[in-house]
Amino acid sequence: MLNNIIPAFVIGAGLLLAASVSNTPAHAEEVKAQRINVRGSILSYSGSTLKVKTREGEMLDVALADDWKVSSVAAAKVTDIKPGDFVGIASLPKEEGGDGALEVLILPPAMKGTGEGSYGWDLKPDSSMTNATVADAVKDVDGRTVTVSYHGKEKKISIPEGTPVVTLAPATEEDLVAGEVVFIPAEKTPTGATAHQVLVGKNGVVPPM
């Protein structure tokens, strides 16, 4: 089952999105497809296409690739975060220093190290996504603050009360019903978008990333 539960935020970082090559001579530079993160609610699902109303109010047709997969998220707690866990945390810098989490995704052990690093993210202006280990180089998991490590660096992130904390969970295409919230890392196309992964809300828990 873990093979079918791919962390959407990692794909959004570009690990599995294919680059497109322009129809110019072979010596020309490769042109990468524009990567977008689609956040919104399902309007309809036809089996190969998801019609989504994005958070920006746009009606977008998302074509699902032949190898597409779907997963969901399940609610977790700050106290579920343990040293040794691999997490994805979207955060914003705080005026007093450090970062404050916008959401936390606890990944299964089999995915430890996937997409490790810290990079810009589009959940909110100036937000970042940090995929890192709460382990080994960790200094503390103290109250609602966690220190994570990646590539020999450390980052301290506070987790304010009310911050969504989730884990990955199974889902099927039957969960793609109108009104459900989705997060879809995708490639922009002239007619909409193409995706290999869909993360869908289930049992009242929505993808917070």
pLDDT for the residue numbered 144:
81
pLDDT for the residue numbered 204:
94
pLDDT for the residue numbered 143:
62
Which portions of the chain are predicted below pLDDT 50? Answer: 1-30, 136-139
Which value, to the nearest 10 degrees, does the dihedral of the CA atoms of residues 60, 65, 67, 68 take?
Answer: 0
Alpha helix positions (H), the chain: 8-12
On whether the CB atoms of residues 90 and 101 are closer than 8 A, the answer is yes
Contact partners, residue 42, CB within 8 Å, separation at least 6: 50, 51, 52, 176, 177, 178, 179, 180, 181, 182, 200
Residue in this structure with the two tokens 């969504």, named with its chain if needed: 164
Q: Which residues of 160-187 are buried (b: 16+ CB within 10 A; e: fewer)?
A: eeebbbbbbbebeeebbeeebbbbbbbb
Report the SS3 class of residue 15: coil
List, for residues 41-57, the tens digit of each pLDDT value: 999 999 899 999 999 99
Q: What is the pTM of this model?
A: 0.82
Report the SS3 class of residue 11: helix
Tokens of 111: 């995915």
Q: Where are the beta strands (DSSP E) in 27-58?
A: 35-45, 49-54
